[in-house]
Amino acid sequence: MAIDWGVGRYEATGELLAPVSEVVVELAGPLTGRSVLDVGCGTGNAALAAAARGAVVTGVDPASRLLEVAAGRAAERGLEIEFVVGDAAAIPVKDQSAELVISIFAVIFAPDPAAAVAELTRVVAPDGQIIITDWLPGGALTVINGTAAKFMGEVLGGPAPKSAPASLAWHNAEALRAAFAPYGFSVEVEERSLVFEEASAEEYLEQSAQHPMAVSADRALSQRPDAEELRAELKSRLLAAAESVNEDPEGFRVTVGYTIATIRRS
């Protein structure tokens, strides 16, 4: 199912992910006057964090609605950032123009990872760096989101797409080395964690229901004559999944592992 990231309300998820942008931008070192490109910038978390540190920032994303939100946030903070509609497979910036290329949980969604890798290596400056975050598989998010994906698979069925491009494990150092080494780049990967907290599992799921993926799934369910039963079944399975990974008996808390890959010319 192709996702239109402009539907629903990614903003709520964006707020939960914002701390990762702060971590990555800090990790990148001093940014005053440096050119930064945020690929898949969404509502602008990393772009804003870099601009607040004095960088000259461009944010690129295929979802124009999210770019409008990002531009509004930048204006509220008095930050000048250029936001451009574009895709990781065809980034609309010049060769070697960005000293820091960031992609926070974004390029990982590119349907053609090989094209994205070629583009990331094309746009980064000769002594620049590329920093990419991905989720570590097997944790709480895998349990909750995997429950939704499994349910939608059961409901929608149908054959797997035949010509899907090979995917890339963006969290895996060896896979990234194999993808970037042909361009003359080396890769280091470190692991971090992020905590999601809400008053209850129900509240977490209510917020997640506005995520573009959940909204797209719901639109598919709405086409079915038994839509209401299907929605109720999905809700109950998601609640069971969320409760199964909940770390807080008084509310809702999950600790989610993610990776930060730093990629430079070797």
Ligand X SMILES: C[S@@+](CC[C@H](N)C(=O)[O-])C[C@H]1O[C@@H](n2cnc3c(N)ncnc32)[C@H](O)[C@@H]1O
CB of 263 to ligand X, least distance (A): 16
CA distances from residue 33 to 41, 70, 239 in whole angstroms, order as listed:
20, 21, 47
Is 109 a binding residue for ligand X by CB under 6 A? The answer is yes
Binding mask 32-61 for ligand X (x = CB under 6 A): -------xxxxx-xx--------------x
Figure out which of the listed residues 25, 28, 31, 66 binds ligand X, where binding follows CB under 6 A: 66
Task: For 101-131, give the secondary structure using H, E and C.
Answer: EEEECCHHHCCCHHHHHHHHHHHEEEEEEEE
Is 141 a binding residue for ligand X by CB under 6 A? The answer is no
Q: Which residue has the tokens 């809400």?
A: 198
Coil, strand, or helix at residue 90? strand
Is 135 a binding residue for ligand X by CB under 6 A? The answer is no
Figure out which of the listed residues 48, 57, 63, 260 binds ligand X, where binding follows CB under 6 A: 63
Beta bridge pairs of residue 135: 258
Is 5 a binding residue for ligand X by CB under 6 A? The answer is yes
Maximum alpha-carbon separation in the chain: 57
Q: Choose between 39 and 98: whose C-beta lies nearer to ligand X.
A: 39
Cα separation, 121 vs 118, in Å, equals 5
Contact in structure between 63 and 4 (CB atoms under 8 Å): yes
Residue number, nearest CB to ligand X: 42
CB of 59 to ligand X, least distance (A): 9
CB of 66 to ligand X, least distance (A): 5
Contact in structure between 16 and 42 (CB atoms under 8 Å): no
Coil, strand, or helix at residue 50? helix
CB of 101 to ligand X, least distance (A): 12
CB of 4 to ligand X, least distance (A): 9
Is 106 a binding residue for ligand X by CB under 6 A? The answer is yes
Is 104 a binding residue for ligand X by CB under 6 A? The answer is yes
Amino acid 195 reads: V
Tokens of 181: 């080494």
Residue ranges that bind ligand X, judged by CB under 6 A: 5, 14, 17, 21, 39-43, 45-46, 61-63, 66, 87-88, 104-106, 109-110
